[in-house]
Structure 1
Amino acid sequence: MPVMPASSRSGGVRPARRGASVLAALALTALTSAALVPATASAAEPYVVGGEETSVADHSYAVYLVDDDGRQFCGGTLTSSREVVTAAHCADALPADELGVVAGRQDTRTDRGIEAGVRDVWVAPSYQDPMSGGDIAVLSLDRAVPYRTAQVADDSDAAKYRAGTEATVLGWGRTAESGERSNTLRSAEVPVVAADTCSEAYDEYDPETMVCAGYPEGGTDACQGDSGGPLMVGDTLIGVVSWGDGCARPGKPGVYTRVSTFEPQLGGQSVDT
């Protein structure tokens, strides 16, 4: 499968209600073939690469998105009992009535946990495509989900974005570029990357709306199917899996939406305990 530069890390979705992008238009094929090759971006892959299986009980804020056939294609973060933060390119991929959120489920092959419908979708007004920034959205659920939620980074959390800070990325995506999809939640530790280093890796990088994380030598990263999932420092959501060049490549860290920039727009996310 050819890998072209920089693409979103969704696992595939159908054409968007807002006609969002080629990324969304090719989605259903990606779900069945485990490949997404947009005309303007690189193939993106689904697991957390270089990570390990982790317990959803330890990260109960980690949820995943499904289409109306119950197929996982993106991740998300529970930030209140009825709100999930995810990537705009995930939320924009399907009409709200065809989106679902699954919480508290370790293994996608089981029926454990809670399934919720999506009542409303907010997408950052600045969003055009992942590489242009603003790749963040909030899903309002049609029922309360009784799991621990994540705090949302704000202006007081600047220290959590310092280069070298250890962060945790979580998801159900691929464990290797062009590899198999994971059925269980995985996590990996990745350091936050300095803005100038990320700018050298990607011309599209915007330090105001994005943050990079990963190792110079690669080997650990988010991948296709992880889009929309959390980048956490402790219990605080600092990033949303957005895009990257392949998965876990040397010199190509993962790019995440910088949550603190958009916190004022997220509808006053509350933290339910």
Structure 2
Amino acid sequence: MSVKSRRSLLLASGALLAVAAVAVPVVVGTASADPASANQPRIVGGDKASLSDHPYAVYLTDSGGNQFCGAVIVSSTAVATAAHCAKAVAKQDVRVVAGREDKRTDVGQVLGVSKVWIGKGYSDPTQGDDIAVLTVRGQLDYRPAQLPKSGDTAAYREGTQATVLGWGRIADGGDRSDYLRSAQVPVVSDNTCRSDYSVYDQKTMVCAGYEKGGIDACQGDSGGPLVVGDTLIGIVSFGDGCGKPGKPGVYTRVSTYTADIEAQAKPRVFG
């Protein structure tokens, strides 16, 4: 898979970009079985993770139970994901699966979606604004991730160690993971990321990964979380392949959208 969307393949600035539909290198399935998998990455070079440590990590399926993206709980009634994930499947067919570490089990919750908010100006991952908030039908029983302050820069300093989470592919073009996986990746400077991707926009994007590659999100990881501690700083968006040297993963910069996410995630009040 070339530039991770990590859901669909895009031709941008002469590079084949694959949008990451599920945070961290995750494998994307076929279009018929996985509507959003065209550019999905999965965690590459990571390890098995536990929901006891990251209870806010969730994934999205279509009405047939096919996982196509990742997401992250931001309130008792909402999850954040990538805009390209939210647009991949019709609202009435999206399911949010929470509390399920192993996709082969039936533990946890499976909730439908009642409302979809997509970042203003979104057209495709390489143009920025790759953010969406899904309001669920019912209540999520798991602790949400913390959001950074609007415009915060501290968590985005070069070298900051962050954790990416997902159920995507464990190698570029490899098998998808049945279990939640995580990987540690350092935040990359804006200047370095701009030299790696001509489409890079430091206001809406942030890069994380190693110059030598080997650890990254992959197909199926799009929409999943990049966290520092329990603070959500990024959403898996796109990249060039999975774990390629000199091609870090590109994530949506959450601090740019904190106010929007909070407004959309506010629990509904009925009179």
TM-score range, shorter chain: 0.7 to 0.9
Q: Which residue of the other structure, out of 117, 120, 124, is the alignment partner of 1:122?
A: 117
CA contact (8 A) 1:50 1:175 kept: yes
Report the count of equivalent residues: 249
Q: Following superposition of structure 1 onto structure 2, how do residues 237-256 of structure 1 map, counting pairs within 5 Å? A: 237-256=232-251
Of the three residues 5, 17, 20, the one matched with 1:9 is 20
- What SS does structure 2 have at the residue aligned with 1:89? helix
Task: Point out where structure 1 has 5 or more consecutive residues left out of the alignment.
Answer: 12-25, 37-43
Partner of 1:264: 259
> What CA distance in whole angstroms lies between the structure 2 residues aligned with 1:231 and 1:93?
21
- Residue 155 of structure 1, CA deviation: 2.9
| 3-state SS, counterpart of residue 16 of structure 2 | coil
Residue in 2 that maps onto 1:95 = 90
Matched, 1:149 2:152: no
The SS at the match of 2:31 is helix
The 8 Å contact of residues 66 and 99 in structure 1, kept in 2 or not, is answered as yes
Offset at residue 27 of structure 1 (A): 6.5
Q: Say if 2:66 is the partner of 1:63.
A: no
Q: For the aligned residues, what is the CA RMSD?
A: 2.1
1:46, CA displacement in angstroms?
3.3
- 1:30 deviates by 6.4
Name the amino acid aligned to 1:6: L
Q: Which moved more, 1:155-164 or 1:200-209?
A: 155-164
Cα distance 1:105–1:199, how it changes in 2: closer, same or farther (>3 A)? same
Larger relative contact order (CA 8 Å, sep ≥ 6): 2
| Residues 2, 240 of structure 2: 8 Å contact kept | no
Structure 1 length-normalised TM: 0.86
Pair 1:263–1:27, CA change in 2 (3 A): farther
Q: Percent identity?
A: 54
User: What is the identity, as a one-letter code, of the residue corresponding to 2:17?
Assistant: A
Letter in 1 for 2:31: L
Is 1:214 aligned with 2:209?
A: yes
Relative distance call for 1:30 and 1:132 in structure 2 (3 A) is farther
Which of 25, 28, 32 is the equivalent residue of 2:31?
Answer: 28
Which structure 2 residue ranges, 5 or more long, are not aligned? 4-14, 23-28
How far did 1:7 drift? 1.7
Alignment-derived partner of residue 73 in structure 2: 78
The correspondence for 1:228, drawn from 223, 230, 237, is 223
**2:9: which partner in 1?**
none
Provide Cα deviations, 1:182-216, integer angstroms capped at 9, x if missing partner.
Answer: 01000000000000000000000000000000000
Counterpart residue identity of residue 152, structure 1? L
Report the equivalent of 1:39. none
**TM-score of the pair, normalised by structure 2:** 0.87
**Distance in 2, Cα, partners of 1:29 & 1:253:** 29
Q: CA deviation at 1:58?
A: 1.3
How far off its partner does 1:156 sit?
Answer: 6.1
